Structure 1
Amino acid sequence: MYNSKLLLVKLMAEGSVLTAQFTYQPGYPGAKQTITFDASASHDPYGNITYYQWDLGDGSYVNTTQRTVTHSYDESGNYNVGLTVTGSNVDMSSITREITVPRSAPPIMIWSRTFGVQGDDRANSLAHTSDGGYILAGSSRYYIDESRHFGARLVKTDANGNMQWQRTIGGKRFDEAHYAMHTSDGGYIIAGSTGSYGAGSDDFWLVKTDAEGIEQWNRTFGGEYADIASSVRQTSDGGYIMAGRTESYGAGFDDFWLVKTDPEGTEQWNRTFGGDSIDSLYSFQQTIDGGYILCGDTRSFGTGSSDFWLVKTDNNGIELWNRTFGGANYDRAYSVQHTSDGGYILTGMTRSFSANHFDFLLVKTDSNGTEQWNRTIVGPNEDNSPHSILQSPGGGYIIAGKTGSPGTESYDMWLVMTDQDGYVQWETTFGGTGHDVARSVLLAPDGGLVVAGDKDTCSDQGTDFWLVKLVGIPSEPEGGDALADGEPLQTPGVPGFGAVVAVMGLLVWVGLAGRRL
């Protein structure tokens, strides 16, 4: 027994050593961006660390008694950052980490707008309008005869985010707009869910308004259970196509659901996709061949408890193929976009490949849905969830979502920019002490970004619609001088699908017929 005690003491002593360690924020710093290096993770088992010596990798050195230092790099590249700590016994420990500084720096916020009524207002979507402004759609809490209700809410702004009008549409139960867009007649079409009307606990809800947001008609679609529309598009015949999930129809508890209507909202056909378990749709797009691409998560197919699920249909909603992506754990796709090379980009959250509770996952496919690559983007906190993705004019991707910690109400809007291969170029967060989240991101006509989501008012009024405008820091393209204004840049992809031009030093995508998107 005596020898066992001696052995235990010896092992404990050998395991207690001075250790140098550091972290840095932001995790993906840009050139000329301030980086904070933090040595708080360093450990001295015999007392306090007395000295920190930093070699910042670009010829800069800092010797200090403080745990944190700040620094910025003039140029992009890889830098070997070294830290040597001196312990209370005058012993030393060192560590070196490679820091990658991309060419791009994060954009800066130039304005921020909030729109609230009585509390718990949530913006689910953002779209361009023909006058250069924006239309936001979501839900709003309001009261009728002291009873609380939730209605669909529309907010129309000008190009600078100033509100021009707002409308609340709904009945006496829970009604929510999940997506709104401008229609060919100058009005708006809204898709969402309604508990006030229809046959079930929730039904697909299609609402048509005029140019001022005044309701012209509304239609419901569904059965006796919950059926929720995520998005809507106007089709070439003047009708509408909605996508969402259904509990009332299909093979399983939850299935993907497509509903096609004529211009007056009368159903023409509907299609379900799924297996015998839960398959939930969150995003869809029209494709250049006239069909549709759908994404969400599946528990009926794939290898994990939940996988990304991508489904391609023709223009009549007939399935052409489907693909699953994911690991052994939980993965859910929230957004899909057609890419300029004819393929698709998906983003969602992953636990299978996460270093945290959840992280962002990007999956790039070719035109047949075959995976080309995937990337996990590790967030600054434990819980990281993307909601929207778009392809940038330069071929990279911009993802909007949130980052925070499970079990808390503290979340920030998180934006990430990658290159065309999915490697992070910059990331940035915005928010306060409450629950702030980005749900939709668009390219502005001037080359900036416009982001919509929710902002916590940090009061008993809950959250407000939040609209933010960001402008980038122009940088020279790889391998040459900056493009002159109006100079075209050849882009890969579908012939005649569009081009990229430089406008005021920023790259802007120009679509068919010269329409700037």
Structure 2
Amino acid sequence: MIKWAKTYWKGGVASISLTRGGDMIAAGVAEKELHFLAEYGPRRVILSGGFVARLGRDGSLKWFRIIPKVTITDAEVTGNGEVVLVGVTREPRSMMLGVILKFDGNGNFLWGRRFNGGVLDSFNALTTTRDGGTVVVGETRSFGAGVSDALVLRLDGDGNFVWWGTYGGKLWDGAESVAIDREGRIVVAGYTYSFSEGPSNAWLLWLDNEGDVLLGKTYGTESLEKAVKIALTPEGDPVVVGKTYVPIKSRHDAWAIRLDGEGEPEWGLRFPGMEAVDIAVSPSGDLVVAMEDFELAGIGSTGEPLWGERLKLKMDGGLRTVLADEHVLVGGGALWGIGEAFIASIQPEGEPPAVLDWNPEVKESECTVFRAYANGEACFKATPVGRFTEVRLKPVEFKPDVFSSFEEFAESSYVRR
């Protein structure tokens, strides 16, 4: 049952997190159409960029910031109430650069970093550390041992490098989500073609505080698998959701799997015909899986299906993020194209969806690791003939224009009249 639902602007909500005071921090992509009379007649422009907003628990807007030419992919509130954002921006010649931004709790811009490796570097997710730093994960084609590698960066609270590295093999590999487990290990979830026997497998890496690989495992079947989100239970165990594409049946299946500290499955569930986008853990330890097509599924900590809910929202796009607290909060919209950014509060009451056991084949994986530190130690990129060339990833201070409203944005130099 939907308790309330609110739309805000065209675009989509990619992330929802809570402050200690109970407010929501939402982030994603915002877009607005503007019509005005120019010197040569009527004009129409589209204002777009990444956004971060602070909302009350009823969805009311407290402040809003838009950052032009940036796509926000994830956000998290730090222990002192600051907000860290990650995403991508494009430069001339269509290069994609990763960006990290920090705001205070009142929406004031604190600092930004842009990371350019020369080809493509995208940041997909982040988690904050106990010492006020940030671990960021994504994908790079600028560095590494293959076509693309998983990219992991650790930064301090001021946005300076502690270390960064690439992880992968000769083919396509990438990181989609990250968490820090009860032992302080960095757990990275994504996908790999390099270490799968055929189609892509879901891929998890456990790293220490210096970026060294402690454990690596793949999870897969004969179809294409990809891990999309990772969360931790109250006991500190990782729970991962992902999606499987079944070519013979031309459909996606969602899956969820709980792992122990050694990466071995405790249980796994598969949701036929669905496509998972996010997972949240409630304070009681129950799990909520969000599906692309406005579907939610509740799972007990031991893997038993509890409830299902199909949201009757007449909106384009789909769910993008979920948060489980006193109630279930979902956000979504269309991160690319037409659709409205929305947030809804849900009180689940439906019957559990049909599920199957998911028992993927689990294998150890060893990847090539190239690391760099703040002292300038280099990373490398493999050439087509197998030789490695030295390359460096440098953080550049990034001071984007930040606007507090679309009206303020419309009066800026970004709109040529």
TM superposition score normalised by structure 2? 0.75
Question: Does residue 348 of structure 2 align to residue 450 of structure 1?
Answer: no
| Aligned amino acid, residue 20 of structure 2 | S
Larger CA deviation: 386-395 vs 321-330: 386-395
| Matched residue SS, 2:131 | coil
Q: Name the CA shift for 1:287/1:309 in 2 (closer, same or farther; >3 Å).
A: same
Measure, in 2, the Cα distance between the counterparts of 1:233 and 1:371. Answer: 23
Measure, in 2, the Cα distance between the counterparts of 1:390 and 1:289. Answer: 20
Q: 1:186 aligns with which of 70, 81, 90?
A: 81
Superposed CA offset, 1:468-492 (max 9, x none) = 1012469xxxxxxxxxxxxxxxxxx
Question: Does residue 19 of structure 2 align to residue 129 of structure 1?
Answer: yes
Question: Does residue 317 of structure 2 align to residue 440 of structure 1?
Answer: no
Q: CA deviation at 1:176?
A: 0.8
Q: CA deviation at 1:280?
A: 1.7
Rg comparison, structure with higher value = 1
Which residues of 2 match residues 248-327 of structure 1 at below 5 A?
Answer: 248-327=142-221
Measure, in 2, the Cα distance between the counterparts of 1:438 and 1:399. Answer: 10
Larger CA deviation: 208-217 vs 346-355: 346-355
Q: Is the 8 A contact 2:121 2:142 kept in 1?
A: yes
Q: Is the 8 A contact 1:354 1:378 kept in 2?
A: no
Q: Name the CA shift for 1:303/1:371 in 2 (closer, same or farther; >3 Å).
A: farther
| Matched residue SS, 1:358 | strand
Question: Does residue 294 of structure 2 align to residue 418 of structure 1?
Answer: no
Measure, in 1, the Cα distance between the counterparts of 2:323 and 2:170. Answer: 36
Measure, in 1, the Cα distance between the counterparts of 2:225 and 2:166. Answer: 21
Greater relative CO (CA pairs within 8 A, separation 6+) = 2
Q: Name the CA shift for 1:130/1:393 in 2 (closer, same or farther; >3 Å).
A: closer
Q: CA deviation at 1:256?
A: 1.1
Q: CA deviation at 1:142?
A: 5.0
Q: CA deviation at 1:223?
A: 0.5
Question: Does residue 8 of structure 2 align to residue 115 of structure 1?
Answer: yes
| Aligned amino acid, residue 400 of structure 1 | A
Q: CA deviation at 1:196?
A: 4.7
Superposed CA offset, 1:214-233 (max 9, x none) = 32221111311111111223
Q: CA deviation at 1:147?
A: 5.7
Question: Does residue 278 of structure 2 align to residue 388 of structure 1?
Answer: yes
Q: Name the CA shift for 1:280/1:330 in 2 (closer, same or farther; >3 Å).
A: same
Give 1:158's aligned residue: 56
Q: Is the 8 A contact 2:189 2:227 kept in 1?
A: yes
Q: Is the 8 A contact 1:200 1:224 kept in 2?
A: no
Q: Name the CA shift for 1:347/1:234 in 2 (closer, same or farther; >3 Å).
A: closer
Measure, in 2, the Cα distance between the counterparts of 1:354 and 1:401. Answer: 22
| Matched residue SS, 2:229 | strand
Q: CA deviation at 1:298?
A: 0.8
Q: Name the CA shift for 1:168/1:397 in 2 (closer, same or farther; >3 Å).
A: same
Superposed CA offset, 1:7-58 (max 9, x none) = xxxxxxxxxxxxxxxxxxxxxxxxxxxxxxxxxxxxxxxxxxxxxxxxxxxx
| Matched residue SS, 2:251 | coil
Measure, in 1, the Cα distance between the counterparts of 2:19 and 2:283. Answer: 20
Q: CA deviation at 1:200?
A: 7.4
Q: Is the 8 A contact 2:148 2:172 kept in 1?
A: yes
Q: CA deviation at 1:131?
A: 2.2
Superposed CA offset, 1:223-266 (max 9, x none) = 11111111223323322221111111111121111111222212
Q: Is the 8 A contact 2:308 2:348 kept in 1?
A: no
| Matched residue SS, 1:301 | coil
| Aligned amino acid, residue 109 of structure 1 | I
After superposition, the CA RMSD in angstroms is 2.6
| Matched residue SS, 1:300 | coil
Q: CA deviation at 1:193?
A: 0.9
Q: Name the CA shift for 1:346/1:234 in 2 (closer, same or farther; >3 Å).
A: closer
Q: CA deviation at 1:367?
A: 0.6
Measure, in 1, the Cα distance between the counterparts of 2:13 and 2:311. Answer: 16
Q: 1:239 aligns with which of 116, 133, 142?
A: 133
Question: Does residue 241 of structure 2 align to residue 351 of structure 1?
Answer: no
Give 1:373's aligned residue: 267
Q: Is the 8 A contact 1:225 1:248 kept in 2?
A: yes
Q: 2:70 aligns with which of 175, 188, 198?
A: 175
More strand by share: 2
| Aligned amino acid, residue 114 of structure 1 | T
Q: Is the 8 A contact 1:343 1:367 kept in 2?
A: yes
Q: Name the CA shift for 1:230/1:442 in 2 (closer, same or farther; >3 Å).
A: same
Question: Does residue 106 of structure 2 align to residue 212 of structure 1?
Answer: yes
Superposed CA offset, 1:480-515 (max 9, x none) = xxxxxxxxxxxxxxxxxxxxxxxxxxxxxxxxxxxx
Q: Name the CA shift for 1:269/1:396 in 2 (closer, same or farther; >3 Å).
A: same
Percent of matched pairs sharing the same residue: 24
Measure, in 2, the Cα distance between the counterparts of 1:316 and 1:431. Answer: 46
Superposed CA offset, 1:312-370 (max 9, x none) = 11122211111111111211111112234443211111135996601111222211112
Which residues of 2 match residues 138-153 of structure 1 at below 5 A?
Answer: 138-141=28-31, 148=46, 150-153=48-51
| Aligned amino acid, residue 123 of structure 1 | V
Q: CA deviation at 1:137?
A: 0.7
Q: Is the 8 A contact 2:288 2:324 kept in 1?
A: no
Question: Does residue 305 of structure 2 align to residue 429 of structure 1?
Answer: no
Q: Is the 8 A contact 2:137 2:151 kept in 1?
A: yes
Measure, in 1, the Cα distance between the counterparts of 2:258 and 2:247. Answer: 16
Which residues of 2 match residues 323-342 of structure 1 at below 5 A?
Answer: 323-342=217-236
Superposed CA offset, 1:377-407 (max 9, x none) = 124xxxx21111123445432100223xxxx
Q: Is the 8 A contact 1:295 1:311 kept in 2?
A: yes
Q: Is the 8 A contact 1:255 1:275 kept in 2?
A: yes
**Structure 1, unaligned stretches of length 5 or more?**
1-107, 404-412, 475-517
Measure, in 1, the Cα distance between the counterparts of 2:15 and 2:163. Answer: 25
Measure, in 2, the Cα distance between the counterparts of 1:313 and 1:276. Answer: 21
Measure, in 1, the Cα distance between the counterparts of 2:276 and 2:212. Answer: 29
